[in-house]
Structure 1
């Protein structure tokens, strides 16, 4: 990361850190299935099923979401102008949520499925971070919840797109199904926290009326 970019990130992070209390998300989302358990074996079977039946179009769609942001996750349902103003409003939310995801992943340190199971062959860009919970899924669920407050008439669309983005991570071979479940839980925890701030919620509602 370039020095200027690093300085900007640290400045924004310090602002976010001073403004919000961080969650203890590990207990809330719970552990992932134990290695060798029935649940863990079933997960690999599910992933192998998707691997066998996915198409190139499925892989291409998942690969387009290698970066998790409003454009890649919800670009088809938001105009460029809407994305611009929403991104500005959610800048600190995005930073704080990224930190939450980082520390939660670090707590569990679950290997990616293709590292612990060589029979899993991803068809999208590999990841350097750990697997649990899914960061893409966390952001997809969080953004879907917040977008639904801004544009309530499109709430169902945002929910569907968020769920598909989460599923794409399993189809692409970079996440276990339980990573997705945990990511949705974390996304809901974050959304509940932000929306419990009545001022912030009102600001989101006004944003959709501008």
Structure 2
């Protein structure tokens, strides 16, 4: 009996510690214009993902090879696009997808869709990536190599934020999945654009390839979770109706 009681206490302690590993921070209760989900509703990237590759491992050698491949593209048109893709705030994510979507995604042209995308941005970019980012605090490529990114003004801030997984990629991939649902006729173009947003992070040296690959898993999981959220469901339906009405 005594042994069972001790075992139960240890199990409770471990369970409490595991819960405590999920970091607190902004969510739908503090910034409802940027989140649909609360902390306790979000996926835990630390529990979902394996650890990032260790320096010297075969997986890290691939990260290094992809970094070098991306660096060679910086002075090309693809590199220019990668630099532009760094801005996903203030409507940036909607603007990034307008071409692939086939029509402008602005507050004026598509207010319901624009609201949907804006409101979910940090569910993917912050809330879902927070656990693994804070736990591993993986060094970013530009800091590892001491080579500037495509946009040096963000470097100081980003150097204090873990590289794994990529928040920008999670936002881009989650956004692509939702837009493909709203406009399935353009799903190939939309999903390709979402994929390219992630690769832009590698080209600019903000992230390793494994950060980006992991973030696509996170982005998919976020969208699955959002589909269980009533507020998201309602706004998604409004966006679909708005799109259908404007494309008769």
TM range (shorter): 0.7 to 0.9
Residues 52 and 70 of structure 1: is their aligned pair in 2 closer, same or farther, counting only changes over 3 Å?
closer
RMSD: 3.0
Residue of structure 2 equivalent to 1:209:
244
Once residues 193 and 23 of structure 1 are traced to their aligned partners in structure 2, the CA distance between those partners, rounded to angstroms, is 8
Q: Please, which of 98, 101, 104 is the counterpart of residue 132 of structure 2?
A: 104
Bigger Cα displacement from structure 2, 181-190 vs 52-61: 52-61
Find out whether 1:65 has 2:65 as its counterpart: no
Once residues 196 and 92 of structure 1 are traced to their aligned partners in structure 2, the CA distance between those partners, rounded to angstroms, is 15
Bigger Cα displacement from structure 2, 60-69 vs 191-200: 191-200
Once residues 179 and 14 of structure 1 are traced to their aligned partners in structure 2, the CA distance between those partners, rounded to angstroms, is 23
Once residues 134 and 14 of structure 1 are traced to their aligned partners in structure 2, the CA distance between those partners, rounded to angstroms, is 18
Residues 187 and 83 of structure 1: is their aligned pair in 2 closer, same or farther, counting only changes over 3 Å?
farther
Q: CA deviation at 1:151?
A: 1.1
Say if 2:133 and 2:162, in contact at 8 Å, map to a contact too: yes
Residue of structure 2 equivalent to 1:168:
200
**Gaps spanning 5+ residues in structure 2: where?**
1-25
Q: Following superposition of structure 1 onto structure 2, how do residues 1-210 of structure 1 map, counting pairs within 5 Å?
A: 10-12=30-32, 16-17=36-37, 21-68=41-88, 69-76=92-99, 77=101, 78-79=103-104, 80=106, 81-97=108-124, 98-118=126-146, 120-125=147-152, 126-127=154-155, 128=158, 129-196=161-228, 200=233, 203=237, 204-210=239-245
Q: CA deviation at 1:45?
A: 2.0
Once residues 185 and 140 of structure 1 are traced to their aligned partners in structure 2, the CA distance between those partners, rounded to angstroms, is 12
Once residues 11 and 138 of structure 1 are traced to their aligned partners in structure 2, the CA distance between those partners, rounded to angstroms, is 19
Bigger Cα displacement from structure 2, 26-35 vs 69-78: 69-78
Once residues 182 and 154 of structure 1 are traced to their aligned partners in structure 2, the CA distance between those partners, rounded to angstroms, is 25
Q: CA deviation at 1:57?
A: 2.2
Residues 13 and 142 of structure 1: is their aligned pair in 2 closer, same or farther, counting only changes over 3 Å?
same
For 2:59, what is the secondary structure of its paired residue?
helix
Residue of structure 2 equivalent to 1:3:
none
Give deviations 1:79-132, integer Å, cap 9, x for gaps.
1355532121344322433322334322321111121233x5533344413211
**Gaps spanning 5+ residues in structure 1: where?**
1-5
Once residues 83 and 35 of structure 1 are traced to their aligned partners in structure 2, the CA distance between those partners, rounded to angstroms, is 45
Residues 196 and 47 of structure 1: is their aligned pair in 2 closer, same or farther, counting only changes over 3 Å?
same
Bigger Cα displacement from structure 2, 124-133 vs 28-37: 124-133
Under a length normalisation based on structure 1, what TM-score does the superposition of the two structures give? 0.81
